[in-house]
Amino acid sequence: MPPPEPLPYLVAQDIPLDVLFEDAHLIVLNKPAGLTVHPAPGNRDGTLVNGLLHHCPDLPGIGGEMRPGIVHRLDKDTTGCIVVAKSQEALVKLQVQIQQRIASREYLAVVHGVPSADHGTVIGAIGRHPADRKKYAVVHDGSGRHACTHWSLVERLGDYALLRFKLDTGRTHQIRVHCAHIGHPIVGDPVYSRCRKLPLDLPGQALHAVQLGLDHPISGERMVFDAPPPQVFDKLLAVLRRRL
C-alpha cells in the first residue's frame, strides 16, 4: 500500500468570489460549479477556502485548520448560496442554526421524469452504498443517518421537471441520493444518474442552492439571501421549454 497522501498546507489564492453579502461576522457567496469547498487529499488547492483566505486574511484558525469558517458544504458541481463565518462566535452560532433547522436552505434542480404529485417528502436514512463505497444510498440496515427532503413541483418540462427542495437535514449528497431513490435523478449527475443523452452539455448535476435564510449570529436579525442560477442552468430550462 502506498503511504497516505499528506494533507495540504493551506495557502491563500486569488480566486474570484461572487459575494452576495459580507460584514465583520459572515460572508455569503454564490458558489460556481467546479469549485470544491475545502482542500483534501487529491484536491490540494484551488478551493473555496483558498480563495477565502486571500479575501479574508483573518480566517485561519476559525473552526479547524483545514476548514476555516466553513458552516456547511456544497458539492463541487452544486452551485449557489453558501455562508462562511468570519469569527469563532459566528461559526458556532451558525452551526447551531443548521442543526436546529433555524437556518433554511432551498434548492432548485432539473430532474429526469415528472413526479405524479405536486409535492412530497422523502424520508430515508443515507449511508455508504453497499456495493460502491464511493457513493451514498438510502439504506435500511441501521448504518445510515436520518435524512428528510421536502420537494415541490415548479414546472413540467416534457420528459423533465423543475423541482424545488427544502432540507430538514444536511447529509452528504442528500438531494442527489433522494432524487435517485424516488426514480427522478438529477439531470447531469455523474454519480447517481444513469448515462443518458442530455439536452445540453452540463458541468455537473443541475442542482442550485437558490435561497439561504438565517438569523444573523450577532444581531439576531433574520436575513434571506437569493442566488441567481448560473447561465447554464437557465439555458437548460430554455432548451427544455422550446421542446414543449
Residue 14 lies in a domain: no
What domain range includes position 29? 19-242
Considering the chain, what percentage of its residues have pLDDT values greater than 90?
72
**What is the reported pLDDT for 63?**
62
**DSSP per position, 172-227:** TTHHHHHHHHTT-PBTT-TTTS-----SS--SS--EEEEEEEEE-TTT--EEEEE-
> Does residue 13 sit within a domain?
no
Q: Does residue 140 belong to any structural domain of this protein? A: yes
159 belongs to the catalytic site: no
CATH number of the CATH domain containing 87: 3.30.2350.10
Q: pTM of the prediction?
A: 0.91
User: Stretch 207-222: mean pLDDT, rounded?
Assistant: 97
Q: Does residue 77 fall inside a structural domain? A: yes
Mean pLDDT of 163-168: 96
* pLDDT for residue 62 is more than 80: no
In a domain, 12, yes or no: no
Which of the residue ranges 9-23, 31-45, 52-66 would you say has the lowest mean pLDDT?
A: 52-66
From 18, 58, 75, 189, the catalytic residue: 75
Provide the domain count of the chain: 1
Question: 27-56 pLDDT, tens per residue?
Answer: 999 999 999 988 876 777 889 999 998 998
